[in-house]
Amino acid sequence: MARSREFRHFTPIAPPFVPRSCVPAELSLRLFSDFPDKCIAPFTFQRPRQKVGGDAGALEYRNSNLLHQAAKTIRDKKDADVSSFFHNGWIAAVTNRLIDRLLGAGFNLLLTRPLYMYPEKFLPYVFLLFLVASACGQDDGEMLTSPPAPVGRFTNPDPDQPFFVSVDDTTPEGMKWVAVDSLTDAFDRWDTGKWFKSLWNYGVPVQMRAENSGVADGNLWIRATLDDGAERWFETSRIQSRARISYPMYTESRIKTAHLSAYNTFWLNNGNISNRNEIDVIENNSKPSCGCQPDFPWQMNAQYFHVIDDDTRRAKGNFDNRNLSDDNPLKGIPWNEEYHVVGVWWKDARHIQFYLDGEPAGSVVSERDFTRDLNLIWDLWTVDEPWLGGLPDRNDLLDDSVNTMYIDWVRTWKLEKE
């Protein structure tokens, strides 16, 4: 019969007879064990924030500060940030007993007596602390200094390769992906050498404004705001790359959409409406207002346009993220609730493959050859049309919790011979 979960929580770290002025601000420790073959025992030491009053207070401060230094040495030795993890059941069990003894006897001594008076009693407990640290994370001889990575095809993809390479690598034999720095950005800052704000307008009610986009907190953002009373009351913005690119290439961007009735877009275009090649990776609307687009919260709306002298050819893909693999953690998650990675592999003059969260998400074949180099573009816009989902509630434009599109990063590669 499986053993039920056993949970032991020590707060404060020391037994009741230890002065409470030392805890919980100075030290805290939590131990818990799960099943026999998997035990975890994280522990944390924190430096006292300030010295408490009196001789006893000074003593407590000195001793707990020494323990902080010992713990810091352990962390440095282990190259661990805060916690150490056990994955071997017997090591965890033995260590728990050692720590119980340490708690029951050692801390009363350590926190209530000058340490130099009892070196023969103090040193064994320091030895136990280092023994605990050296045992942490050892499993069949392998040292672990952080929790193991979750197991799954869609976790921890290689950031130096397109997401799909970590899931199902279909890169042609003899070819390799080479990063394109001018079209790659983690958005830790606004890089004027890579991006600019292209502010031409769509139709009413859109008004493009430079101040409605920027970079903050590791994200490129585009915000829709209200100019109440104006004909163009939907204030928004657009970001465009300075560099252009052509096939064979792949680009992907990690995006969380605004939650209002508008298109949140990531697309490629050469900028001439009458003579253009265009690839729309997404035109996502998580909150259609028209009552006519029930699938929009999960639908990509990926497509291409090929226009010569206003003669337009196009094909559209409507991949639904509820059709992702069952083991994909983003399956069925609306665009506004989590960041999704959307991408396109522009393979050749006619073949375009879209991707979502590491998986193929529909493809299109152009009726005519793509011949132009294209820019990367993000924008947020709306129009009073059912194919877009209708106009947003104006109150949504006043709510910063729903009116902003966030782009965590963009990564772009060219496909070249090895």
What is the dihedral angle through the alpha carbons of 74, 79, 81, 87, rounded to the nearest 10 degrees?
A: -80
Whether cis (ω within 30° of 0) applies to the bond prior to 150 is: no
What is the separation, in whole angstroms, between the first and last Cα of the chain?
A: 56
Distance in angstroms (rounded) separating the CA atoms of residues 14 and 123: 18
Q: Say how far apart CA 4 and CA 275 lie, in whole Å.
A: 68
CB 266 within 8 A of CB 255: yes
Report the run of H or E that residue 216 belongs to, with start and end.
strand 213-216
Asked whether 34 and 8 are in contact (CB, 8 A), the reply is no
Residue 50 C-beta-side C-alpha neighbours within 13 Å: 3
The Cα 45–Cα 27 span in angstroms is: 5
Which is the catalytic residue, given 235, 278, 338, 416? 278
Closest by alpha carbon to 308, among 393, 366, 391? 366
Is residue 283 flagged as an active site residue? yes
Residues contacting 279, CB < 8 A, separation 6+: 267, 268, 269, 303, 304, 344, 346, 352, 374
Give pairs for 415-418: CB < 8 Å, separation 24+: 415/171, 415/172, 415/175, 415/176, 415/177, 415/178, 415/248, 415/249, 415/250, 416/175, 416/176, 416/178, 417/174, 417/175, 417/176, 418/174, 418/175, 418/176
Active site residue 367: no
> What does the longest C-alpha to C-alpha distance in the chain come to?
92
Distance CA 73, CA 48 (A): 16
Q: Are 393 and 290 in contact (CB under 8 A)?
A: no
- State the catalytic residue, choosing from 283, 385, 416, 418: 283
Q: Hey, which residues are catalytic here?
A: 278, 283
